């Protein structure tokens, strides 16, 4: 977690089993976890160089992987997590790190996906749940939902409409992935209707 925690809140409210909340900086997500009785841990970037050019991304990723392993986590669901992690985490949880992104990947990767979609002039965007990999926003897609871009949209209104869809889509995908893992299957593409 790094942001406001609205997606985490939706995940918890939908009954998805959450064993641990981790944040890379103080944020509302930690409060949501604590209020729900979920173990919540701050693995602060500050101890690894913060947001400076000296940030040690690999050491941070190792520390994050250790916390997850110490809590016996099987599946990692990123939601607004603001730090790009290295193979130190992905190798420890191969194919088991999921992410939600506010665009229809592979279009509009990165931090400014909503602004980039608006600037491009496309008529629709949406959200994608995918397996996170070391390459940013590049892993196998599990599910997508289209969100039309309205003439009246600005970055804030469009992003909020995408978040409304994410708050439904991500818990649904997580529920199905957890069921697949319980049955001995790896995460696979999931088709959901919008």
pLDDT truncated to tens, each residue of the chain (194 aa)?
456 789 999 999 999 999 999 999 999 999 999 999 999 999 999 999 999 999 999 999 999 999 999 999 999 999 888 799 999 999 999 999 999 999 999 999 999 999 999 999 999 999 999 999 999 999 999 999 999 999 999 999 999 999 999 999 999 999 999 998 877 766 654 433 32
In the residue annotation, 159 being an active-site residue is answered as no
Per-residue confidence (pLDDT) for residue 1, from 0 to 100: 45
Q: Give pTM, 2 decimals.
A: 0.90
> Which are the contacts of 122, defined by CB distance < 8 A and separation ≥ 6?
107, 149
Q: 107 and 88 in one domain?
A: no
Per-residue confidence (pLDDT) for residue 39, from 0 to 100: 94
Q: 129 and 84 in one domain?
A: no
Query: CA–CA separation, 173 vs 190, rounded Å?
Result: 7
CA separation (Å) from 144 to 141, 149, 166? 8, 16, 9
Per-residue confidence (pLDDT) for residue 61, from 0 to 100: 97
Token reading at 192 = 């959901």
Could you tell me the end-to-end alpha-carbon distance of the chain, in angstroms, rounded to an integer? 26
Q: 103 and 89 in one domain?
A: no
Per-residue confidence (pLDDT) for residue 189, from 0 to 100: 46
Q: 90 and 5 in one domain?
A: yes
Is 145 within 8 Å of 163 (Cβ atoms)?
Answer: no
**End position of a domain, from candidates 94, 119, 150:** 94
Query: CA–CA separation, 14 vs 131, rounded Å?
Result: 21
- Among 71, 90, 101, 130, the one annotated catalytic: 101
**End position of a domain, from candidates 94, 129, 148:** 94
**Which residue range is the domain that position 173 belongs to?**
96-194
Which has the closest alpha carbon to 19: 65, 73, 59, 62?
Answer: 73
């Amino acid at each position: 977690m790094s942001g406001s925690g609205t997606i985490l809140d939706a995940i918890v409210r939908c009954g998805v089993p959450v064993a641990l909340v981790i944040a890379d900086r103080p944020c509302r997500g930690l409060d949501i976890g604590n209020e729900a009785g979920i173990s919540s841990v701050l693995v602060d970037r500050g101890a690894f160089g913060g947001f400076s050019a000296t940030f040690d991304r690999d050491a941070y990723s190792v520390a994050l992987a250790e916390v997850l392993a110490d809590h016996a986590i099987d599946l990692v669901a990123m939601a607004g997590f603001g730090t790009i992690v290295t193979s130190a985490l992905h190798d420890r949880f191969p194919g088991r790190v999921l992410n939600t992104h506010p665009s229809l990947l592979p279009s509009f990767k990165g931090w400014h996906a909503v602004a980039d979609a608006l600037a491009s002039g496309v008529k629709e965007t949406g959200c994608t749940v995918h397996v996170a990999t070391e390459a940013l926003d590049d892993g196998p897609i599990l599910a997508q939902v289209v969100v039309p871009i309205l003439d009246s949209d600005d970055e804030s209104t469009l992003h909020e409409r995408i978040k409304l869809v994410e708050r439904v889509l991500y818990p649904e995908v997580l529920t199905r992935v957890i069921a697949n893992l319980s049955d001995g299957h790896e995460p696979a593409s999931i088709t959901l209707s919008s």
